[in-house]
Structure 1
């Protein structure tokens, strides 16, 4: 297969590593974006959310210290969540796999297979 999938990846995350391995086993080339080293812009995040077809709040990692310190218990609108995710990329759930105009949060890793249809 020659198609390349983009994976927003955290190398320290076992689910993210497993997702990359699963896709590579199926013959896909991967464009790996280590989003903690090269965070997506606010505009890129908005585009990802359109492809995921979910609101920003649904990809927020609520177990992170920054979430607990700054956002827990607060009601934020879509724009405020986009600002928070852009300012604190550690809050972005991972891995996110993108194929064309579709994307999924691959938790568990097998959810990435939905993009292969």
Structure 2
């Protein structure tokens, strides 16, 4: 089953959700700002995406710029920052089995369908 980590206030995330709805496939919606992924869940997502933790961070967010930008952080510290401030997590993320994509651009999601 597909799973989308979704932020309803984000236009790209809404576009990603629309792609899944039109696909006709079953999927689960995780509103990650309300249901924050655990450190372990985020590490799994990062593994499925095949990226470094920093590549999942929205580095233009004020929270990042004010608290983390100038610091030398370990991967573990970056993951912890995303758990503490889920707004930092790039979106949408769509997962299918042990593979995932960041829906930027949203059409990237179609590679999992």
Q: Same fold (TM over 0.5)?
A: yes
Rounded Cα–Cα distance in structure 2 between residues aligned with 1:10 and 1:89:
10
Does residue 25 (structure 1) correspond to residue 9 (structure 2)? The answer is: no
Rounded Cα–Cα distance in structure 2 between residues aligned with 1:114 and 1:50:
17
Rounded Cα–Cα distance in structure 2 between residues aligned with 1:11 and 1:30:
16
Matches within 5 A, 1:7-86: 7-86=4-83
Off by >4 Å, runs of 4+ in structure 1: none
Rounded Cα–Cα distance in structure 2 between residues aligned with 1:12 and 1:30:
19
How many residue pairs match? The answer is 113
**Where in structure 2 are there 5+ consecutive unaligned residues?**
none
Rounded Cα–Cα distance in structure 2 between residues aligned with 1:72 and 1:46:
21
TM-score (norm 1): 0.92
Does residue 95 (structure 1) correspond to residue 85 (structure 2)? The answer is: no
TM-score (norm 2): 0.96
**Where in structure 1 are there 5+ consecutive unaligned residues?**
none
